[in-house]
Protein backbone atom coordinates (compact mmCIF):
# COMPACT_ATOMS: atom_id res chain seq x y z
CA UNK A 1 0.00 0.00 0.00
CA UNK A 2 1.24 3.45 -0.85
CA UNK A 3 2.01 5.50 2.29
CA UNK A 4 3.44 8.82 1.10
CA UNK A 5 2.64 11.06 -1.89
CA UNK A 6 4.63 14.10 -3.03
CA UNK A 7 3.25 16.47 -5.66
CA UNK A 8 4.81 19.38 -7.45
CA UNK A 9 2.73 22.57 -7.79
CA UNK A 10 3.22 24.58 -11.00
CA UNK A 11 2.35 22.53 -14.07
CA UNK A 12 1.25 19.68 -11.82
CA UNK A 13 -1.16 20.31 -8.93
CA UNK A 14 -2.08 23.82 -10.08
CA UNK A 15 -3.99 24.66 -13.25
CA UNK A 16 -3.19 27.64 -15.50
CA UNK A 17 -5.12 29.89 -13.10
CA UNK A 18 -2.74 28.83 -10.30
CA UNK A 19 -5.59 27.08 -8.49
CA UNK A 20 -6.05 23.58 -7.07
CA UNK A 21 -9.05 21.97 -8.75
CA UNK A 22 -11.86 20.50 -6.68
CA UNK A 23 -10.99 17.06 -8.09
CA UNK A 24 -7.41 17.38 -6.87
CA UNK A 25 -8.54 18.53 -3.42
CA UNK A 26 -10.94 15.59 -3.07
CA UNK A 27 -8.29 13.10 -4.18
CA UNK A 28 -5.79 14.42 -1.63
CA UNK A 29 -8.44 14.29 1.09
CA UNK A 30 -9.25 10.72 0.07
CA UNK A 31 -5.59 9.73 0.31
CA UNK A 32 -5.31 11.38 3.71
CA UNK A 33 -8.42 9.51 4.90
CA UNK A 34 -6.54 6.29 4.17
CA UNK A 35 -3.65 7.43 6.36
CA UNK A 36 -1.45 8.46 3.44
CA UNK A 37 0.75 11.52 4.02
CA UNK A 38 0.57 14.02 1.16
CA UNK A 39 3.44 16.49 0.75
CA UNK A 40 3.69 19.58 -1.45
CA UNK A 41 7.11 19.67 -3.16
CA UNK A 42 7.79 22.93 -4.96
CA UNK A 43 10.42 25.36 -6.11
CA UNK A 44 8.31 28.13 -4.61
CA UNK A 45 9.06 29.83 -1.33
CA UNK A 46 6.60 28.89 1.43
CA UNK A 47 4.73 32.21 1.31
CA UNK A 48 4.15 31.67 -2.44
CA UNK A 49 3.31 27.98 -2.06
CA UNK A 50 0.76 28.38 0.72
CA UNK A 51 -1.33 30.99 -1.13
CA UNK A 52 -3.16 28.56 -3.46
CA UNK A 53 -3.29 25.78 -0.84
CA UNK A 54 -4.80 27.82 2.01
CA UNK A 55 -8.26 28.27 0.39
CA UNK A 56 -8.59 24.49 0.01
CA UNK A 57 -8.31 23.83 3.75
CA UNK A 58 -5.72 21.10 3.14
CA UNK A 59 -3.19 20.47 5.91
CA UNK A 60 0.06 19.27 4.37
CA UNK A 61 3.83 19.43 4.94
CA UNK A 62 5.86 21.46 2.44
CA UNK A 63 9.13 20.86 0.63
CA UNK A 64 9.93 24.41 -0.51
CA UNK A 65 12.63 25.98 -2.66
CA UNK A 66 13.36 22.58 -4.25
CA UNK A 67 14.27 21.12 -0.86
CA UNK A 68 16.18 24.03 0.67
CA UNK A 69 13.40 24.34 3.26
CA UNK A 70 11.04 21.75 4.73
CA UNK A 71 8.02 22.66 6.87
CA UNK A 72 5.61 20.46 8.78
CA UNK A 73 1.80 20.70 8.71
CA UNK A 74 1.93 23.48 11.31
CA UNK A 75 4.26 25.45 8.99
CA UNK A 76 7.19 25.10 11.39
CA UNK A 77 10.59 24.83 9.67
CA UNK A 78 12.13 21.41 10.33
CA UNK A 79 15.06 21.56 7.89
CA UNK A 80 17.01 24.09 5.84
CA UNK A 81 19.96 23.90 3.47
CA UNK A 82 21.26 27.32 2.50
CA UNK A 83 23.95 28.67 0.19
CA UNK A 84 27.07 29.96 1.92
CA UNK A 85 28.93 33.10 0.83
CA UNK A 86 31.31 31.29 -1.50
CA UNK A 87 28.56 29.42 -3.37
CA UNK A 88 26.35 32.51 -3.55
CA UNK A 89 29.15 34.59 -5.08
CA UNK A 90 30.03 31.81 -7.50
CA UNK A 91 26.43 31.74 -8.76
CA UNK A 92 26.29 35.52 -9.08
CA UNK A 93 29.57 35.67 -10.96
CA UNK A 94 28.35 33.23 -13.62
CA UNK A 95 24.96 34.90 -14.04
CA UNK A 96 26.47 38.39 -14.13
CA UNK A 97 29.05 37.33 -16.70
CA UNK A 98 26.31 35.84 -18.88
CA UNK A 99 24.14 38.94 -18.32
CA UNK A 100 21.20 36.88 -17.02
CA UNK A 101 18.65 38.46 -14.69
CA UNK A 102 17.97 36.68 -11.41
CA UNK A 103 16.15 36.89 -8.10
CA UNK A 104 17.54 35.89 -4.71
CA UNK A 105 15.35 33.76 -2.43
CA UNK A 106 16.04 33.84 1.31
CA UNK A 107 14.37 32.36 4.37
CA UNK A 108 12.55 35.67 4.85
CA UNK A 109 11.61 36.81 1.35
CA UNK A 110 12.52 37.26 -2.30
CA UNK A 111 14.87 39.99 -3.47
CA UNK A 112 14.96 41.72 -6.84
CA UNK A 113 17.04 44.53 -8.27
CA UNK A 114 14.46 45.40 -10.93
CA UNK A 115 10.67 44.86 -10.60
CA UNK A 116 10.21 45.69 -14.29
CA UNK A 117 12.43 42.74 -15.21
CA UNK A 118 10.27 40.63 -12.89
CA UNK A 119 7.24 41.78 -14.88
CA UNK A 120 8.90 40.71 -18.13
CA UNK A 121 9.54 37.25 -16.66
CA UNK A 122 5.90 36.84 -15.61
CA UNK A 123 4.78 37.83 -19.11
CA UNK A 124 7.17 35.39 -20.77
CA UNK A 125 6.04 32.51 -18.53
CA UNK A 126 2.38 33.28 -19.25
CA UNK A 127 3.06 33.28 -23.01
CA UNK A 128 4.90 29.95 -22.70
CA UNK A 129 1.72 28.51 -21.15
CA UNK A 130 -0.34 29.77 -24.09
CA UNK A 131 -1.99 32.52 -22.07
CA UNK A 132 -2.62 36.13 -23.03
CA UNK A 133 -1.22 37.94 -19.97
CA UNK A 134 -2.93 40.93 -18.39
CA UNK A 135 0.03 43.28 -18.00
CA UNK A 136 -1.60 45.67 -15.53
CA UNK A 137 -2.95 42.83 -13.41
CA UNK A 138 0.50 41.25 -13.18
CA UNK A 139 2.07 44.63 -12.44
CA UNK A 140 -0.45 45.16 -9.63
CA UNK A 141 0.36 41.69 -8.26
CA UNK A 142 4.07 42.51 -8.17
CA UNK A 143 3.35 45.83 -6.45
CA UNK A 144 1.18 44.05 -3.87
CA UNK A 145 4.00 41.62 -3.12
CA UNK A 146 6.34 44.56 -2.61
CA UNK A 147 3.85 46.27 -0.29
CA UNK A 148 3.33 43.18 1.88
CA UNK A 149 7.07 42.49 1.98
CA UNK A 150 7.24 39.11 0.23
CA UNK A 151 9.14 40.76 -2.65
CA UNK A 152 11.88 43.15 -1.59
CA UNK A 153 13.68 45.61 -3.85
CA UNK A 154 17.42 46.26 -3.39
CA UNK A 155 19.78 48.27 -5.56
CA UNK A 156 22.52 45.65 -5.17
CA UNK A 157 22.36 41.96 -4.24
CA UNK A 158 25.52 42.42 -2.15
CA UNK A 159 23.31 43.91 0.55
CA UNK A 160 21.21 40.78 1.04
CA UNK A 161 23.93 38.92 2.93
CA UNK A 162 24.37 41.90 5.27
CA UNK A 163 20.77 41.78 6.51
CA UNK A 164 20.57 40.10 9.97
CA UNK A 165 18.79 36.76 9.93
CA UNK A 166 18.78 36.36 6.14
CA UNK A 167 19.93 33.02 4.72
CA UNK A 168 20.36 32.62 0.95
CA UNK A 169 18.26 29.60 -0.05
CA UNK A 170 17.90 29.74 -3.84
CA UNK A 171 18.76 31.83 -6.87
CA UNK A 172 16.21 31.88 -9.69
CA UNK A 173 17.47 33.08 -13.08
CA UNK A 174 15.55 33.72 -16.29
CA UNK A 175 16.33 34.74 -19.85
CA UNK A 176 14.63 34.33 -23.22
CA UNK A 177 18.04 33.58 -24.78
CA UNK A 178 18.21 29.81 -24.32
CA UNK A 179 21.85 29.67 -25.45
CA UNK A 180 22.82 31.88 -22.52
CA UNK A 181 20.67 29.82 -20.15
CA UNK A 182 22.19 26.52 -21.30
CA UNK A 183 25.71 27.92 -21.12
CA UNK A 184 25.14 29.18 -17.57
CA UNK A 185 23.58 25.84 -16.55
CA UNK A 186 26.62 23.98 -17.79
CA UNK A 187 29.05 26.30 -16.01
CA UNK A 188 27.12 26.15 -12.73
CA UNK A 189 26.71 22.36 -12.85
CA UNK A 190 30.47 21.95 -13.23
CA UNK A 191 31.33 24.29 -10.36
CA UNK A 192 30.50 21.77 -7.61
CA UNK A 193 28.23 21.68 -4.54
CA UNK A 194 25.30 23.16 -6.46
CA UNK A 195 22.01 21.61 -7.56
CA UNK A 196 21.06 23.12 -10.93
CA UNK A 197 17.57 22.51 -12.32
CA UNK A 198 14.67 24.17 -14.13
CA UNK A 199 10.94 24.59 -13.58
CA UNK A 200 10.18 26.24 -16.94
CA UNK A 201 11.78 26.92 -20.31
CA UNK A 202 14.33 29.69 -19.98
CA UNK A 203 14.89 29.50 -16.25
CA UNK A 204 17.53 28.10 -13.90
CA UNK A 205 16.95 27.22 -10.27
CA UNK A 206 20.14 26.98 -8.22
CA UNK A 207 20.32 25.63 -4.66
CA UNK A 208 22.85 23.88 -2.45
CA UNK A 209 23.65 20.34 -3.62
CA UNK A 210 21.81 19.03 -0.54
CA UNK A 211 18.69 21.02 -1.44
CA UNK A 212 16.86 18.76 -3.88
CA UNK A 213 13.29 17.51 -3.81
CA UNK A 214 14.39 13.88 -3.90
CA UNK A 215 16.71 14.22 -0.90
CA UNK A 216 14.08 16.12 1.10
CA UNK A 217 11.42 13.54 0.28
CA UNK A 218 13.72 10.71 1.32
CA UNK A 219 14.34 12.47 4.65
CA UNK A 220 10.60 12.83 5.27
CA UNK A 221 10.03 9.16 4.42
CA UNK A 222 12.78 8.10 6.83
CA UNK A 223 11.30 10.21 9.60
CA UNK A 224 7.91 8.56 9.03
CA UNK A 225 9.42 5.08 8.83
CA UNK A 226 8.26 4.65 5.22
CA UNK A 227 10.25 2.76 2.59
CA UNK A 228 10.79 4.54 -0.72
CA UNK A 229 9.06 1.70 -2.58
CA UNK A 230 5.84 2.86 -0.89
CA UNK A 231 6.20 6.47 -2.02
CA UNK A 232 4.63 8.18 -5.04
CA UNK A 233 5.88 11.42 -6.59
CA UNK A 234 4.33 13.38 -9.42
CA UNK A 235 5.81 16.25 -11.42
CA UNK A 236 6.29 17.86 -14.81
CA UNK A 237 9.72 19.51 -14.98
CA UNK A 238 13.43 19.02 -14.34
CA UNK A 239 13.32 20.14 -10.71
CA UNK A 240 11.00 17.16 -10.08
CA UNK A 241 13.38 14.60 -11.56
CA UNK A 242 15.31 13.95 -8.34
CA UNK A 243 12.17 12.83 -6.52
CA UNK A 244 10.81 10.72 -9.37
CA UNK A 245 14.15 8.91 -9.46
CA UNK A 246 14.01 7.79 -5.81
CA UNK A 247 10.38 6.68 -5.36
CA UNK A 248 8.70 3.38 -6.07
CA UNK A 249 5.87 5.04 -7.98
CA UNK A 250 7.14 7.88 -10.20
CA UNK A 251 4.35 9.69 -12.07
CA UNK A 252 4.73 12.22 -14.87
CA UNK A 253 2.08 14.65 -16.02
CA UNK A 254 0.86 14.45 -19.63
CA UNK A 255 2.34 17.93 -20.01
CA UNK A 256 5.68 16.86 -18.51
CA UNK A 257 9.04 17.00 -20.24
CA UNK A 258 10.09 13.82 -22.09
CA UNK A 259 12.91 13.33 -19.55
CA UNK A 260 10.32 12.79 -16.82
CA UNK A 261 8.03 10.59 -18.89
CA UNK A 262 11.04 8.37 -19.62
CA UNK A 263 11.51 7.54 -15.94
CA UNK A 264 7.82 7.44 -14.95
CA UNK A 265 5.94 4.22 -14.27
CA UNK A 266 2.69 6.02 -15.07
CA UNK A 267 1.82 9.08 -17.15
CA UNK A 268 -1.33 10.81 -15.94
CA UNK A 269 -3.49 13.54 -17.47
CA UNK A 270 -2.49 17.22 -17.73
CA UNK A 271 -2.57 19.77 -14.92
CA UNK A 272 -5.58 21.36 -16.66
CA UNK A 273 -7.49 18.07 -16.34
CA UNK A 274 -6.71 17.26 -12.67
CA UNK A 275 -3.96 14.82 -13.55
CA UNK A 276 -2.82 14.63 -9.93
CA UNK A 277 -6.22 13.34 -8.82
CA UNK A 278 -6.25 10.71 -11.55
CA UNK A 279 -2.73 9.62 -10.57
CA UNK A 280 -3.64 9.34 -6.89
CA UNK A 281 -6.66 7.14 -7.59
CA UNK A 282 -4.71 5.03 -10.10
CA UNK A 283 -1.72 4.38 -7.83
CA UNK A 284 -3.89 3.68 -4.78
CA UNK A 285 -5.99 1.17 -6.75
CA UNK A 286 -2.86 -0.39 -8.24
CA UNK A 287 -1.12 -0.87 -4.89
CA UNK A 288 -4.24 -2.39 -3.31
CA UNK A 289 -4.05 -5.37 -5.67
Q: How far apart are CA 43 and CA 65, in angstroms?
A: 4
> Is 200 in contact with 189 (CB distance < 8 Å)?
no
Q: Give the H or E element holding residue 240.
A: none
- What pLDDT score was predicted for residue 110? 93
Stated length of the chain? 289
Give residue-wise pLDDT tens across range 174-193. Answer: 998 999 999 999 999 998 89
Residues 6+ apart with CB under 8 A from 99: 180
- pLDDT tens, position by position, for the chain (289 residues)? 899 999 999 999 999 888 999 999 999 999 999 999 999 999 999 989 999 999 999 999 999 999 999 999 999 999 999 999 999 999 999 999 999 999 999 998 999 999 888 888 777 777 766 677 778 888 888 888 888 888 999 999 999 998 999 999 999 999 989 999 999 999 999 988 999 999 888 999 999 999 999 999 999 999 999 999 999 999 999 999 999 999 999 999 999 999 999 999 999 999 999 999 999 999 999 988 6
- What pLDDT score was predicted for residue 36? 98
- What pLDDT score was predicted for residue 289? 65
Task: Find the catalytic residue in 8, 175, 236, 240.
Answer: 8
Q: Give the H or E element holding residue 235.
A: strand 231-235
Is residue 240 annotated as part of the catalytic site, yes or no? no
Please give the model's pTM, rounded to 2 decimal places: 0.91
> Is 245 in contact with 260 (CB distance < 8 Å)?
no
Instruction: Enumerate domains of the chain plus CATH numbers.
Output: 4-81+211-288 (3.40.50.1000), 85-208 (3.30.1240.10)
Amino acid sequence: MIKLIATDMDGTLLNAGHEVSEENVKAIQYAQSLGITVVIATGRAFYEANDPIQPTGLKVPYICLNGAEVRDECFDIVHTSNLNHELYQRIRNVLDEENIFYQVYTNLGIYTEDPERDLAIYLDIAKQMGQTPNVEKIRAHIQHRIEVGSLKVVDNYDKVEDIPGELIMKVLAHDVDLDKINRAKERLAKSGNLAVSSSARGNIEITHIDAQKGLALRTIAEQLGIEMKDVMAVGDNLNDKSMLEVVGHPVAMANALPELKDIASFVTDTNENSGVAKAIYHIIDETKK
